[in-house]
Amino acid sequence: MSLQRSARRYLQLDVFAERPGGGNPLGVVFDAVGLDTVSMQAFAAWTNLSETIFLLPPTTDAADYRVRIFTPRQELPFAGHPSVGAAWAAVEGGLVSAREGALVQECAAGLLPVRVDGGAGDMRVHVRAPRAREITKAALLHEAALRTALAKLPPGRQPPALWNNGPAWWVVELADGAAVRAMQPDLAAIAALTQASSAVGLAVYGRTDASDHQLVVRAYCPADNIPEDPVTGSVNACIAAQLAQAGTLPGRDGRYVASQGRELGRDGKVHVRVDADGEVWIGGQVQCVIDGRVDWPAQPGSVR
Amino acid sequence: MKRRYMQLDVFAGHPGDGNPLAVVLDAEGLDDTTMQAIARWTRLPETTFVFPATSPDASYGLRIFSPRREVPFAGHPSVGTAHAVLEAGIAPPRNGLLVQQGIAGLLPLRVEGDGATRTIAVRTPTARVMEVASAGDPRLQDALRGLPLGLLPPALMDGGRRWWLVELANESSLRAASPDWNAISRLAHDTDSMGVCVFARSDDPVYYLAVRAWVGAPAHFEDAASGAANATLAAWLASRDALPGDTGFYRVSQGREVGHDAIIELLVDDDGEVWSGGRACTVVHGDIDW
């Protein structure tokens, strides 16, 4: 096979996955120095993955590596599953090694602490999520739309609330995990609610006594043309913030595992940790599905 | 288990201009469920899987999957898979031909040149004219509203997948058109077709036709470069003695309206067979571990 000299290392990962296909895919381009923003955006559009990231040397001594995160349409300042995948790739690819399990990621939103636990084959990466805050009175303001969106669903202990940790999510506890799995979402009503409240979507969760997870989560973004999102870092961070505030975190020592995506044929596992300072950490396992090289021009194509 | 994997851009001389394709080589042992899961996971329009041929007349076997289902035949996956097979050294061309063995049977591919300017064209399954409609056909009214129609009447062609082929009066109207997705979806549903493929003749020195292909529900998708749809279009034009140029060979421009810039080469040979092809470039190569 002919290999051109401009080829860079490329991985396609499955994040929050215990087996290939279970999680959320991510494209990772190494050694991205020399690719301009237009080329990065063009490649992220071409992969058609929810996110493609580019690894770069840090611009500050305080960081171990730098990442730029692109959806097929735009660059993002921060996102959960791309950050987990970035840290995993930076360690596995030998770019960095963690000092006592700690790394610092530089991204457009700033410097982000990362934890790396376990060894080869069983490495788990956690990133600290931006602090979430509750938008108080939102539930009162949107009471009628909420009631319509949640009609006939068995309620849980926490009242529905709007939380923001970058994106804003409606967070709704249901009676238990089985109620979450059985939910038939009224997507039109959810779209109406989220549009009226400038939320990206609505998430439901319920407790379960399954052997390998303590929470069942589903997330819907019908107004963004994503009826249901398979595995969502920011949603899980908002839910953890609500549970921590209420003092009712599942699991033990502030750690639990959430299951998301089974209803879409995935099987994502999000490892959540709330530390002594109340910071929420989101992580999980990463599967390396594709390992190779990418040959993408540093200059964009003739038309774009 | 690790298998060789490539991600290509087909009908493109430059990465990003064409139609993306994933190719899994060494696919022996993958079952249908696994292939479908991989094709969903890559999020590309099609993923192909290459097997050893079971027919002595074939160079290799292939299966083609979209994210939703297996596809009996498609043009850009056939051309791209041949490119991958040549790059990986799996099968050499014999007398300039490769033969793929797929669900649609054995199909020859013509290989010309090598390196960056190599072109590969697949002989497409014979397409049939299902129906010739009138310009005022009420089923087409909504989908074609506001578009200035060209000389040929709209036709429904079947080349494996069914497409409505509609000539527009000029290239500028074609490039400026915005598809009415709801109307296209209704038409596709009511006529058991993919959707609408519009075309217009061009004065450009490189290509004679400009094409846009609009796929109905649930995809609501404009195709960047359609090998099979263009082959049915060539068959339709040949049947009306309306092929552009005078050699049976012409080039098509497609995809500019969706950020691409593909060139597809069509040839209607002396036997009336339609060949659809072009260049391909390798963007990603490595291994897949699924």
> In the numeric block, which tokens belong to residue A203?
């998430």
pLDDT band, residue A69 (cuts 50/70/90): very high
> In the numeric block, which tokens belong to residue A172?
């709704």
Tell me whether residues B284 and A10 touch, CB distance under 8 A: yes
Tell me whether residues B286 and A292 touch, CB distance under 8 A: yes
Mean pLDDT for the stretch of residues A19-39 = 95
CB atoms within 10 A of CB A298: 12
The pLDDT value given to residue B160? 83
**Residue among B107, B75, B109 nearest B95 (CA):** B109
Distance CA A30, CA B249 (A): 42
> In the numeric block, which tokens belong to residue A185?
């979402």
The pLDDT value given to residue A5? 47
The pLDDT value given to residue A303? 39
Mean pLDDT for the stretch of residues A63-82 = 92
**Residue among B237, B241, B231 nearest B274 (CA):** B231
The pLDDT value given to residue A6? 65
Tell me whether residues B15 and A45 touch, CB distance under 8 A: no
Task: Judge whether B269 is closer than 8 Å to chain A, CB to CB.
Answer: no
Nearest beta carbon to residue B287 from set A291, A300, A303: A291
Mean pLDDT for the stretch of residues A62-69 = 97
pLDDT score of A1 more than 50: no
Residue ranges in chain B modelled with pLDDT below 50: none
CA distance B161 to chain A (A): 24
End-to-end CA separation in angstroms for chain A: 29
Instruction: Give how far Cα B228 sits from Cα of A226, B79, B231, Å.
Output: 29, 11, 5
> In the numeric block, which tokens belong to residue A283?
């992580």
pLDDT band, residue A304 (cuts 50/70/90): very low
pLDDT band, residue A131 (cuts 50/70/90): very high
**What radius of gyration do chain A's Cα atoms show?**
19
ipTM of the complex model: 0.89
The pLDDT value given to residue A302? 43
pLDDT, tens only, A154-188: 999 999 999 999 889 999 999 999 999 999 999 99
The pLDDT value given to residue A299? 67
Distance CA B213, CA B196 (A): 6
pLDDT score of A267 more than 80: yes
Task: Judge whether A300 is closer than 8 Å to chain B, CB to CB.
Answer: yes
Tell me the residue length of chain A: 304
The pLDDT value given to residue B280? 97
* Secondary structure (3-state) at A3: coil
- Contact call for residues A96 and A64 (beta carbons, < 8 A): yes
- Contact call for residues A154 and A260 (beta carbons, < 8 A): no
Amino acid identity of B24?
A: V
Distance CA B227, CA B176 (A): 22
Q: What are phi and psi of A116, to 5 degrees?
A: -120, 120
Span of A63-67, A197-201, A295-299, B236-240 with lowest mean pLDDT? A295-299
The pLDDT value given to residue A77? 86
| Alpha-helix runs per DSSP H in B10-147 | 32-42, 75-87, 138-141
